[in-house]
Structure 1
Amino acid sequence: MAYDYDVIFIGSGHAAWHGAEDLVKAGKKVAIVEQELAGGTCTNYGCNAKFILDTPFEFLDDLNRYEQADIATVGTISWEKLMAYKKKIISTYAPLLEKKFEQSEITLLKGKGKLADAHTVVVNNQKYTSDYVVIGTGQHPNKLKISGSEFTHDSREFLDLDSLPKRITFIGAGIISMEFASIVIKEGIEVNIVEFADRALLAYPEKMVSAVVDKMTQEGVKFHFNQAVSKIVKENGSFKLITAQGLEIETDYIVDATGRSANTANLGLEDVGVKYNKNGIEVNDHLQTNVSNIFASGDVIDKSIPRLTPTATFESNYVASVILGNTKPITYPAIPNLVFTFPRIAQVGVSVKEATNQPDKYKIVEVPFGGPINFENKLEATAHFTFIVNKKDKTLTGAALLGNEAGEMINLVTIIIDKKLTFQDLNKMIFAFPATTDGLITALKTALA
């Protein structure tokens, strides 16, 4: 049977367009379906916006340490001007991607895509047939099922605030809340974080998280752990957040950051028989669904590995390779992840918790990076490395880093883990000094020796 396309991607984010480009380069006819802006969440409503807003505050945080050392004077940041700049920059990305698709000869079908059968996608009541279909629809923010939930906002809305309210309350102490709170507390507003668990950032090392929480607390953030939000009441133009434990917080703006769920609704999955659950679409080790010509990629997949933009890109490229003939199951490399708090927390590979539970297999090496050569870590007294070393072959298998330079350093660490570089390998290399990464390498060589 002759199909309209070789491959149709539903969704235009990183889980789709990278693989689409690989396919068109190989001579395939490809279409991408998108109901909103080309590029999806990360490009238009998430990662890029957060990075633009975060960067000036990183400089501010660094400069603050030099002010405390009586070396510099801290300046101020205009949120209004910064937001205007963010909107100006972000507004260019979707048109650029559309042009990129056109130049690559990828057809962009604007509208909601829904499966009619295994080889047919309906967009705006028009049917398009394809040999393969790839679902890369990502996730959406959750909403607490409580009275007054309509008064809450999600991350996308927060990242579009023209001006900051005087009081912001975050529900949940996960990545989104911690990152946003780290920024806005520097603007002098009142910030509360309400969390059901007994601590923040459960997936990250407790000692490092505690260091971040302590710093945020000193800056003025109020943390409320072991609290279940029960309702939100609007009162005289502001809001009152109430928990089951009796906590009441008066606030002007509430961000519900209690998690995200896969975008599986209204895709026609049930009609075609594609299996999925509350965590996402079920796939095998080739990212195929139970309907063999339909694949899934990115955050919409039911998976345990980190849902990150680079992971979605990796999966998109992998799916393209399978369609082009690759028969090998997907094998993920070490996946670094980073929390954009001040200081940053980064981790990759075997976690501190895993290593602690397997002392016969792993050696944990703690390195207090803050202090010895203070200029090299930009006066970050709390900067810290935790290395996980395989006792058998003395290679690095995991790491957790605390410090504002952690984001750049974790990428170097990831290469060392993936390539299984040893002390001898590192000793044959020369690195720039006094770059921050030189201190990382010196500490790492000591750990691996």
Structure 2
Amino acid sequence: MNYDVIFIGSGHAAWHAAIALVKMKKKVAIIEKDTIAGTCTNYGCNAKFLLETPFEVLEDLDNLGDIFESRPEVNWPNLMKYKHEVIDPLSDILEDLFKQSGIDIIKGTGRLKDKNTVTVENRAYTADYIVLATGQRSHILDIEGKEYLHDSRDFLDLETFPEHITIIGGGYIGIEFASIASKMGSKVTVISHSDKVLKAFYQPHVDRLVKKLESEHVTFHYHEDTVQVEKQNGKFVLHTKSGLSVETDYVLDATGRIPNVEGLGLDEVGVKYSTKGIKVNNHLQTSVDNIYASGDVLDKEIPKLTPTATFESNYIAMQILGKDASLLQLPLKALELLPIKYPAIPSVVYSLPRLAQVGMPIDEAAKKGHKIKTIKYGEQMRFEYKNELDAELVIALNKTNHLIGAAIYGQDAPDLINLLTLIIEKKLGAKDLNLMIFAFPGASSGVIDLLKFQMLGVDMDL
């Protein structure tokens, strides 16, 4: 064999395992047809998070009211210049890191020829194990005028910002970009196929977010299916099945993402897949036992997030290493026999403000009879949380008063949800938290105190 392991794809679902494997003296290659390091690094999470930074500042200014005499405006071209300065070099930096680590980089489209062979531009490479980590791509509606639709990658590279943007879809991408556009002062129209947006999140918080966005020039249309986009007099007109027409400057198709399974040779080799992605067992093996798959390309119920892709990548490295007893101590070798077990997985919508959740959904916990408590930390910790009065945490406690689920509405939701994830995963109770000391006056320490009181059955409604 040319290699011990070949990865098709170079994002988080691949390179974490590749690094681990080469450190254990495995010969590894990564095949990539697009940009090294994948979507999140180059065209997704990183770019989105960077572009949102100044709007987060504006959100804080809005919460602080008339303390400031004037409100700054975001210079979009300068912000985009900053994005290119920071994001564009990452691919080359990571490629150099991979090569220095001993990973071979093969540019081109990888296709399975048999269970041990991948071809790239008619050249064959062989390996004991193959890992499919090809991720997803933006779904584009198959409608008349689809050539006028833009995807998230286009939006994150806009040179000038449109005065009116229309977003098709009410998921993560649609709502996050609507938050940016409204803060830019643009008029925003959201077209939702469903009767609600962000269906996977705690709906009272979603409703609050929608009302806030509506106050910031965002219009929502529900139960609408887009059937046509046409160009008229330099503008675009979106038409729905019900007869709704929207004149706009830019149309973003945020109707979801689909797995990259085409052109991989899956049928020829016998790797099973569906429209949702590649099917795997609880060891992340495909129907061909030496071929694994990880990340967003999987057909799975687990959230398709960068952290889960990283978790799966590291797991696959241990699975492969566990098959080589000569390189591992016995306790590690035993990991080969263990099916993957996902820990508590937090999810965050980077809207303004943010929404976050972890553990058992609040609605499900309520139906099962668990205790549901609301902590209005924005009111109770007014100066610590920058006068964000409507920020709140809703928690679910089981019969032993351990945290089993949480939902947050507030700017600091991403950091807070990480703390709560740790508490849930490690099953920490009030007594455990009381044995720890947290930095003060760090804002999160106050939330932990409020949480402890709820765990002890004490309402601290200040």
Q: Deviations over 1:110-156 (max 9, x none)?
A: 00000000000001211000000000000011111221112100000
Distance (whole Å) between structure 1 residues aligned to residue 47 and residue 413 of structure 2: 20
* Preserved CA contact (<8 Å) 2:61 2:68: no
Name the SS for the 2:337 alignment partner. Answer: coil
Q: So what's the TM-score if we normalise by structure 1?
A: 0.97
Tell me what 2:228 maps to: 231
Residue of structure 2 aligned with 1:371, choices 368, 379, 391: 379
Tell me which amino acid in the other structure corresponds to 2:363.
K
Tell me what 2:211 maps to: 214
- Could you tell me how far 1:370 is from its partner in structure 2? 2.2
Name the SS for the 2:12 alignment partner. Answer: coil
Q: What does 1:120-131 correspond to in 2, within 5 Å?
A: 120-131=117-128
Name the SS for the 1:219 alignment partner. Answer: coil
Tell me which amino acid in the other structure corresponds to 1:281.
I
Tell me what 1:54 maps to: 52
Gap regions ≥5 residues in structure 1: none
Asked if residue 411 in structure 1 is aligned to residue 413 in structure 2, the reply is: no
Worse overlay, 6-15 or 376-385:
376-385
Tell me what 1:43 maps to: 41
Residue of structure 2 aligned with 1:166, choices 163, 167, 171: 163
Residue of structure 2 aligned with 1:138, choices 129, 135, 138: 135
Name the SS for the 1:376 alignment partner. Answer: coil
Tell me what 2:448 maps to: 441
Residue of structure 1 aligned with 2:63, choices 62, 65, 82: 65
Tell me what 1:295 maps to: 292
Worse overlay, 218-227 or 15-24:
218-227
Name the SS for the 2:340 alignment partner. Answer: coil
Name the SS for the 2:378 alignment partner. Answer: coil
Residue of structure 2 aligned with 1:189, choices 183, 186, 190: 186
Q: What does 1:10-159 correspond to in 2, within 5 Å?
A: 10-66=8-64, 68-159=65-156
- Could you tell me how far 1:198 is from its partner in structure 2? 1.2
Tell me what 2:327 maps to: none
Tell me what 1:341 maps to: 351
Tell me the C-alpha RMSD between the 2 structures. Answer: 1.0
Distance (whole Å) between structure 1 residues aligned to residue 120 and residue 69 of structure 2: 58
Asked if residue 201 in structure 1 is aligned to residue 198 in structure 2, the reply is: yes
Tell me what 2:459 maps to: none
Distance (whole Å) between structure 1 residues aligned to residue 380 and residue 28 of structure 2: 55
- Could you tell me how far 1:357 is from its partner in structure 2? 2.2
Tell me what 1:390 maps to: 398
* Preserved CA contact (<8 Å) 1:140 1:263: yes
Q: Deviations over 1:47-81 (max 9, x none)?
A: 01001101111011101221x24445321111110
Distance (whole Å) between structure 1 residues aligned to residue 314 and residue 96 of structure 2: 21
Tell me which amino acid in the other structure corresponds to 2:124.
K
* Preserved CA contact (<8 Å) 1:84 1:162: no
* Preserved CA contact (<8 Å) 1:336 1:349: yes
Tell me which amino acid in the other structure corresponds to 1:299.
D
* Preserved CA contact (<8 Å) 1:143 1:149: yes
Worse overlay, 189-198 or 312-321:
189-198
Aligned length: 443
Tell me which amino acid in the other structure corresponds to 1:263.
N
Asked if residue 328 in structure 1 is aligned to residue 300 in structure 2, the reply is: no
Q: What does 1:264-279 correspond to in 2, within 5 Å?
A: 264-279=261-276
Worse overlay, 254-263 or 69-78:
69-78
* Preserved CA contact (<8 Å) 2:2 2:125: yes
Q: So what's the TM-score if we normalise by structure 2?
A: 0.94
Distance (whole Å) between structure 1 residues aligned to residue 364 and residue 405 of structure 2: 10
Q: Deviations over 1:221-278 (max 9, x none)?
A: 1111121112111111111111111211000110000011110000000000000001
Tell me what 1:247 maps to: 244
Tell me which amino acid in the other structure corresponds to 1:13.
G
Distance (whole Å) between structure 2 residues aligned to residue 72 and residue 346 of structure 1: 32
Q: 1:352 to 1:189 in 2, by over 3 A?
A: same
Name the SS for the 2:312 alignment partner. Answer: helix
* Preserved CA contact (<8 Å) 1:8 1:33: yes
Name the SS for the 2:13 alignment partner. Answer: coil
Name the SS for the 1:424 alignment partner. Answer: helix
